[in-house]
Structure 1
Amino acid sequence: MLGAAGVAACGLALAGCSGQDAKAQPNLKGKVIAKTADVPVGGGTVVEDLQVVVTQPTKGVYMAFSSVCTHKGCTVSAPKDNVIRCACHGSEFAADSGKATKGPAGAPLASFKVRVEGDGIVVA
């Protein structure tokens, strides 16, 4: 089964909470970003070195978003109960769309279109 997360945001400039300089997110197209076994239904995983959070909001549907909060650039945590949370300031995002559901963040997380190849989740 395939899961789609919308438009790829491979060139998005991102900054860390610590006030680090902005850096470009690497081009992830064609890259295996997670294994299906590592992404629980209703939850997900954060791939820190790629700055991506991968979710499985419903069985067999996989989504991927930037793991950088749109409020101040902190890294979000792995989703639980289909909610992606940012511990820095309490923002929450929907694991099925990346939409901000609780502020202070107002903008959605940047999304990546993904597909399943074998046991891997690949950026389309």
Structure 2
Amino acid sequence: MARRNVLAAGALGVGAAGLLAACGGDDDPRAGTPAPAATSAAPTTGADPSASAGGEAAPADALASTADIPVGGGKIFPDQQVVVTQPAAGDFKAFDAQCTHQGCLVSQVQGDEIVCTCHGSAFSTSDGSVLGGPAPSPLAARTITVEGDSLVLG
């Protein structure tokens, strides 16, 4: 038998042994079972978990808390394809998160810029206007309202 054939057979045997070990069962029925969760002895207060810090219940359709959006920055919500910014304290803006260049979702908010890293476009957090890059038009404005401490897309 040639050396190449011996090495190939050995490698095949090692691979098969690993596959069998991974697929094999475990004789201990407790293996892989997570330990029971510790229970808390602290009494429950009966408070509404959706209540905000001010004690008001958050609207069912709330996108985020006002505290989630930093002043002078913003946050991207990929599932809703929206970016929410707060250019000045209490001044919340919302824009379509889809870049107007080739449709990528914007990926970050850096200071006063909403940035699409696909091709380097940048937009203003104040009005969605193009600050740089190949984007041909501004981000479309979306309606957002403040209800208590919550932000709701309109």
For normalisation by structure 1, the TM-score amounts to 0.72
Q: Which residue of 2 aligns with 1:33?
A: 63
Residue aligned with 1:79, SS: strand
Q: Is the 8 Å Cα contact of residues 42 and 79 (structure 1) preserved in structure 2?
A: no
Correspondent of 1:63 among 81, 85, 93? 93
Alignment of 1:17-28 (within 5 A): none
Q: Give aligned-pair identity as a percent.
A: 48
Correspondent of 1:49 among 79, 86, 90? 79
Higher-Rg structure is 2
Quick check: which one's strand share is greater? 1
The aligned length equals 95
The whole-number CA distance in structure 2 between the counterparts of 1:89 and 1:55 is 21
Residue aligned with 1:96, SS: coil
Q: Which residue of 2 aligns with 1:10?
A: none
Alignment of 1:1-124 (within 5 A): 31-124=61-154
Matched to 2:110, the amino acid is K
Deviations 1:6-45 (A, max 9, x none): xxxxxxxxxxxxxxxxxxxxxxxx9422211110011111
Matched to 2:121, the amino acid is S
Q: Which runs of 5+ in 1 are unaligned?
A: 1-29
Runs of 4+ in structure 1 off by over 3 angstroms are: none
Q: Which residue of 2 aligns with 1:14?
A: none
Q: Which runs of 5+ in 2 are unaligned?
A: 1-59
Task: Name the structure, 1 or 2, with higher relative contact order (CA <8 Å, separation 6+).
Answer: 1
Quick check: which one's helix share is greater? 2
For normalisation by structure 2, the TM-score amounts to 0.58
The whole-number CA distance in structure 2 between the counterparts of 1:78 and 1:37 is 18
The whole-number CA distance in structure 2 between the counterparts of 1:113 and 1:49 is 17
Q: Aligned-pair RMSD on alpha carbons?
A: 1.4
Residue aligned with 2:67, SS: helix
